[in-house]
Amino acid sequence: MSSAVSLRSARASLAFSCAGHAYAHIFEPIFFIVALVLPGELGLSYEEVLALIIAGKLLYGLLAPLAGWLGDRWSTVGMMAVYFIGLGLSAMGVGLAQGPLSMAVALGFLGMFGSIYHPVGISWLIRNAVDKGKAIGLNGVFGGIGPALAGVVAGGLIALSGWRAAFILPGAVVLGTGLLFLAMLAKGVVVESKADRKPEPAADRGETVRAGIVLSVTMLCAGLVYQATQPSLPKLFEERLGEFGLWAAAGGVTVVYLLAGLTQILAGHLADRLAPKRIYLVAAAIQVPLLLGLAHASGLGLLLVAVLAVSFNMAGIPAENLLLSRYTPAKWRGTAFGLKFVLSFGVSGLGVPLVSLIRGAGGGFETVFTVLAASAALVALAAWQLPAERDRGGVPAAAE
């Protein structure tokens, strides 16, 4: 493959991977905004409406290893095409649902196709990147843009056309992206690559095992913080930001995830130049007092603390992905990222029923965020046990 074609493909992979990351994170927060109006539409309580997405959330994580394995063994770009087309059609299906059962089924398909992105899209991105931390950080910004856009998109479309449009129109955009991706694949702008543009020296077996055990703990706990915070913030803002109701929830979520997502550019840049272990540990430790503050804050102070808490949660993601990449053989990277998301988005998806359970038992958000602060503390303590950083300068790139 010529260097010009390689560079063009790398740029295309970055663009489509960033778009895919935004799409992977936009529909769940759209649902949590829509969930504020669905009780009146479906005749269910707010907690019962939240339960409709649980199966989809579990599939989102639990099917990730299979998606990653198929990307490793079959085709990365083929799986990305399936992702865009399937996600777009599923989102439109949610908007066309006629009752709780059909909505739960459509949300299940949304989770199933959504499970493809993280193991496949991120491993595809890393394979094509030279400054991997920077690329992960930029990609992470788009993961934050998804929830940020969700507030504006859902709030605006609900006001203009009703809750169904909040799923149908974004779903059509994702479907259109999938068709464009297929066209770029046919023209050779997007190509399959099996080797890293900038390989790194392999970790020894002891480091790999130790890092695998530690990261399993940290990814589970950090994922729980993310997964439980996302459904909590719309309701928390609705309750504590005065009398603006739905717009307080939608606007607050937009501000938080847009500002927090931008921190990943700096975090990714630092991860290329400093020890990712140190960045990961510090980001987790700082979340502890912020989450405790979120349990009791109100007014504009609530918005500020929420921005900081989510920012530091997201700041750990580039370092986490870089650590996982460094301690995993390239040919198994998609599968490894799939296993990560079993923890981060599958098992940690229990954060949604956790919020529902705590609120149903009368515990309130004070209890929710105290539990999440304890989870962040566990991340920091476990990250301390990661292998010590050593010189991991790149090795010559494989011929393409």
CATH of residue 226's domain is: 1.20.1250.20
One domain, residues 315 and 258: yes
**Based on the domain organization, do 118 and 255 belong to the same domain?**
no
Task: Report CA 323 to chain centroid distance, whole Å.
Answer: 17
Same domain as 102, residue 225 = no
Domain identity same for 217 and 104? no
For 328-355, the pLDDT digits (tens) are 877 788 888 888 877 776 666 677 778 8
Average the pLDDT over 102-123 and give the result: 94
Angle between helix 165-186 and helix 132-161 axes, rounded to 10 deg: 140
For residues 21 and 141, membership in a common domain is answered with: yes
Question: Which of 32-36, 142-146, 277-281 has the lowest average pLDDT?
Answer: 142-146
Same domain? For 18 and 165 the reply is yes
The domain boundary residue, chosen from 138, 168, 191: 191
Q: Can you tell me the distance from the alpha carbon of 382 to that of 217, in angstroms, rounded to the nearest whole number?
A: 7
- pLDDT above 90: residue 83: yes
pLDDT band at 391 (very low <50, low <70, confident <90, very high): very low
Give yes or no for residue 246 having a pLDDT over 70: no
Give the torsion through C-alpha atoms of 211, 322, 5, 173, to 10 deg: 110
Same domain, 301 and 263: yes
- pLDDT bracket for residue 297 (50, 70, 90): confident
Q: What pLDDT sits at residue 202? A: 65
Lowest mean pLDDT among 2-6, 92-96, 369-373, 386-390: 2-6
pLDDT band at 109 (very low <50, low <70, confident <90, very high): very high
- For residue 256, what pLDDT is reported? 87
Asked if residue 399 is part of any domain, the answer here is no
Q: Are residues 160 and 235 in the same domain?
A: no
Residue 200 forms part of a structural domain:
no
Poorest-confidence range of 138-152, 174-188, 190-204, 316-330?
190-204
Q: What pLDDT sits at residue 201?
A: 63
Question: Which structural domain range is residue 159 located in?
Answer: 1-191
Q: Which of 123-137, 330-344, 365-379 has the highest mean pLDDT?
A: 365-379
Rounded mean pLDDT, 64-91 = 94
Assess if residue 198 is contained within a domain. Answer: no
Answer yes or no: are the C-beta atoms of 46 and 35 closer than 8 Å.
yes
- pTM for the full predicted model: 0.76
Give the Cα separation of 232 and 327 in Å (integer): 34
Last residue of a domain, one of 140, 165, 191: 191
Quick one: tokens of 150? 């969700």
Using only C-alpha atoms, what is the Rg of the chain? 20
Across the range 263-284, mean pLDDT stands at 89
Q: How confident is the prediction for the chain on average, in pLDDT? A: 85
| Distance of alpha carbon 334 from the chain centroid | 16
- In Å, how far are 10, 60, 334 from 3, measured between CA atoms? 10, 36, 25
Answer yes or no: do 184 and 215 share one domain: no
Residue 212 sits in the same domain as residue 184: no
Averaged pLDDT for residues 61-81: 91
State the pLDDT at residue 280. 94
